[in-house]
Amino acid sequence: MARFKVIDRQPRFIPIDLQAQLIPGSFEFALDYLIDQEIDCAAIVARYCNDQTGAPAYDPTVMLKIILLAYSRGMNSSRAIERACRENVLFMAISGDSAPQFTTIAKFIRELETEIAQLFTQVLMICQRQGLIGGQMFAIDGVKLPSNASKQRSGTHAELAHEAERMEKAIRRIMASHQGNDKEPLEINEREQKQIRKLQHEASRIRTFLATHSERKSEKGSLRKSNVTDNESAKMATSKGVIQGYTAVAAVDSQDQIIVAAQAHSSGSEQSILLPMIEQTSQIRRRETVITADAGYHSEANVKALFEQGIPALIADGLMRRRDERFKEQAKYKELPDPLWNKASSNQERKGLYRPSDFTHLVEENCAICPAGKRLYSNGSHCTVNGR
């Protein structure tokens, strides 16, 4: 009979030196040292007024270490951070085994909005003293992030008022169906009562929003859709459909990929974001620093403003790929449209058979590239393979 090692789950004491878990040269060691020795957290500490009365609070510097370490590991959930503080030795070490609850972590993050800009500036100053910011080129780009808000709760004030009126009509229709009987009125069942309460809550929520918020307008003065849940977010078109969210933009230094400016905007247009982002880098940007951005940030107004301010920049325009020889043959590798879906006119479609010139023959690989970009291999009777 086979023999295996004994599995022992009896209680035992395992000594752990928490300070030794912060190994010099690691991110957590640098994080612990910078917050304790270099970064001024006086603005965060000043929010606490429990010198004489009140229960002791968690040290805000420790909370900041926990959150930044969690973000570096891809954790953005307060519950996941709380679990890490109870189960992960590294989080125990950097927090001093304090293990705050997820509600405390969420409240700290929510109230850190005004002080985070000062901390970001201090980190940039430290990076500049260490020579990590070259200042030769700042690359600006962004991504559209979804917010915790529903697209169905978006619209202009007129559209939202119409939605509230539609809900109120539905409530009156349900009530009238029970009160309009010739005989004794029927009692409203539990399902319909639940539906009425839901409609009343949503209609009241929309009415309250319309009474407390003004109409949103774009930079050009046109009306923009508001959102009852998160009015700072906006509807944005992405490659995966329309989302309710923000445009997150960052400016990155080319030397060591240090983020020198970051901001979230409630506008899906990237053109209006370029100049504010450049303005954020004014403290560390030099006259010879080159600003680069893709075609999404190109506009006549932006180019004119950069020229007037004397800021060197390379902003791609919409026709850049057509002029660049490196993209000359990119069209032939695009996937062909579905012939059953494409209803283009006959003069725009190519008729007839493909010619040999439409295929690219790769002699060394013994294959060809078809007009759709697929690889075609010879497997017929008139071919030569290994001399046969």
Are both 30 and 112 inside the same structural domain? yes
The pLDDT-based confidence of 383 (bands split at 50, 70, 90) is low
Q: Both 103 and 36 in a single domain? A: yes
Segment among 216-225, 260-269, 344-353 with least mean pLDDT: 344-353
User: pLDDT digits over 21-33, tens only?
Assistant: 899 989 999 999 9
Give the Cα separation of 150 and 226 in Å (integer): 11
Q: Is 8 a member of any domain? A: no
- Quick one: pLDDT at residue 347? 45
Residue 378: which pLDDT band, with cuts at 50, 70 and 90? low
**Distances in whole angstroms, Cα of residue 269 to Cα of each of 70, 141, 266, 387:** 31, 12, 9, 61
Q: Are residues 93 and 32 in the same domain?
A: yes
* pLDDT for residue 352 is more than 80: no
Please identify, among 299, 323, 347, the residue that sits at the C-terminal boundary of a domain: 323
Q: Last residue of a domain, which of 323, 346, 371?
A: 323
Domain that holds residue 192: 157-214
pLDDT, tens only, 70-127: 998 888 889 999 999 999 999 999 998 888 999 999 998 888 877 777 888 888 888 8
Q: What angle do CA 183, 187, 192 make, to 5 degrees?
A: 130
Asked whether the beta carbons of 81 and 58 are under 8 A apart, the reply is no
Regarding whether 30 and 126 lie in a shared domain, the answer is: yes
Residue 222 lies in a domain: no
**Is residue 316 located within the same domain as residue 351?**
no
- Mean pLDDT check: name the lowest of 246-255, 282-291, 318-327: 318-327
DSSP-assigned states of every residue in 240-296 = TEEEEEEEEEEEEETTT--EEEEEEES-S-SGGGHHHHHHHTTTT--TTPEEEE-GG
> In this structure, is residue 283 part of a structural domain?
yes
Q: Is residue 13, in this structure, part of any structural domain at all?
A: no
* Mean local confidence (pLDDT), 29-56: 87
Residue 148 belongs to some domain of the structure: no
Question: Distance (Å, rounded) from C-alpha 40 to C-alpha 119?
Answer: 8
Number of domains in the chain: 4
Helix (H, G, I), strand (E, B) or coil at 203: helix
One-letter amino acid at 216 equals R
Same structural domain, 25 and 116: yes
pLDDT at 346: 45
User: For residue range 316-333, what is the model confidence (pLDDT) as tens digits?
Assistant: 888 887 777 777 776 666
Helices (H), 268-383: 274-280, 300-309, 320-323
- Verify that 314 and 373 share a domain, yes or no: no
Which residue in 211, 202, 194 sits closest to 169, CA to CA? 202
pLDDT band at 313 (very low <50, low <70, confident <90, very high): very high
Residue where a domain terminates, one of 323, 344, 378:
323
- Lowest model confidence (mean pLDDT) among 81-90, 197-206, 262-271: 262-271
Instruction: State in Å, rounded, how far the first CA of the chain is from the last one.
Output: 58
The CATH number of the domain where 265 resides is what?
3.30.420.10
pLDDT at 261 over 50: yes
- Helix, strand, or coil (residue 369): strand
Tell whether 97 is covered by a domain. yes
**110 lies in the same domain as 29:** yes
Q: Are residues 142 and 273 in contact, defined by beta-carbon separation less than 8 angstroms?
A: yes
Model confidence over 84-98: pLDDT tens digits? 999 999 999 999 888
Query: What amino acid is encoded at 247 in this protein?
Result: T
